[in-house]
Amino acid sequence: MHRARVSTVAGKKALAEGKWLTVIGNRSVHSGDWVWTDGRCIYGHESAGGSAPVLGKRRESGVPLYVGGWHCIYQRGELRWLSKLPSVSYRGLLYLGAHAAYLLPHPYPRDKRQLLDADMDAYGNIFTLTGVYWVEGDLGIRPSVLGAVRVEKNGKEIASHDLRPYYGVLKNATFTSIITGGGHVDCEGNWGFYLEIDASTDGGYEGRKPGREMTNTVYYVDAEGAHPLFYEYARYNKNGFLRKIENFTGARGKKFPIHDGYYYMWNSYEPAGANALCRPERIILTIFTLAGDKVVTGCFRLGTRFTILRIGEGAYLLGVYHVTIQKLWAISQGWDQNPEEPYPQEWDEVRPFEDGLYLCKDSVMKRLVKGYCDTFRFRRVRDIKTWEKTLKNAIQGGSKSWKTL
């Protein structure tokens, strides 16, 4: 038996030390609680009566959020804005309990390495997944070194995925982009991310052989390797496509991890036109709980990162964060276009849920705040007044337990 700190609670299951444990006593367990466990179960019993209650000062709980560039607290079904606290540009919020808060560098990933995801365990260890936004074109190479996607624990690399082998997909390419997005990392060291490679040549558009070439390839990469989702290749000139290859294997049966046991699966994706080189952007998917219960089905953009927390029976807070990873597309307008099939009418009316914070109640989504959801994990904090002081210290560059990195 030993003590462990709970980070997430879902019914009779509680996440501690990176494992889902079963609560077998009648004790009410909340995020941030210290519990006794044997590595499988959480033990504890609360007496139904027979002794005088211990009175103490009631502490307000809430869920800290950083969305749309502002800090707020979700309490009692409403958002309370922390208007006296300044916003912090290009930072992502990571916290656990009332005494640990970090503002991690989280820049808009153009021409910079990008922090795809982050997590923190009960001992304060921070796990990060850092990707790239790499472009080679008329303006040169930005940034100069391609490098690798890195998984780190407290700044020390524990895994990586080399991106250099993906370079050179087209011979004599004049433009290449290698961009990552939609990442996931957890305290067990599991990780995954979307990877898109776009490339093109610039010769032959006016009719000279062999014509201009262009390709788009999308993978989902994890510790098991790179799983191809979409592949397109075309050779074309001003008269239309001379050759076009598509292989949209999608993600049949694949579970994409979110965090705390949540995951999503693709249902379908938008069709591509016969005279367009543009892989699907809109994906209809379903988010599930650890137990396999449906949370919501909706349309989202490819590579969206989700943050989720159960706040009641059939009710969830859902954060949506998306950055476009596609750089190239083409539409043929020449005289020898391919015959187009009628575009499915149902897709004309499908609009993706955009960036922001949503309340998901009984599988219906309502947007509460617009803008990037820059909170890596949603956690319920039991002493929100102490948390506000912790956050203020973090913004002002406080001590080692709460700081801006």
The count of other CB atoms within 10 Å of the CB of residue 112 is: 15
Query: Positive or negative CA dihedral for 4, 72, 111, 134?
Result: positive
Q: Which structure tokens are listed for 395?
A: 């913004």
Give the per-residue pLDDT at 401: 43
- pLDDT at site 45: 65
Could you tell me the residue ranges of all domains in the chain? 2-43, 107-334+348-373
Segments in the chain below pLDDT 70: 32, 45-58, 86-87, 107-112, 143-144, 203-210, 331-343, 398-405
- What pLDDT sits at residue 110? 57
What is the C-alpha separation between 251 and 269, in angstroms, rounded? 10
pTM, whole model, 2 decimals?
0.83
pLDDT for position 296: 96
Q: Name the 3-class secondary structure at 254.
A: coil
pLDDT of 149: 95
Q: DSSP per residue over 326-390, as a string?
A: ----EE--STTPPPPPPPPHHHHT-----SEEEEEETTEEEEEEES-B-BS----BS-HHHHHHH
* pLDDT number for residue 373: 93
* Structure confidence at residue 48 (pLDDT): 47
User: Three-class SS of residue 250?
Assistant: coil
323 close to 181: Cβ distance less than 8 angstroms: yes
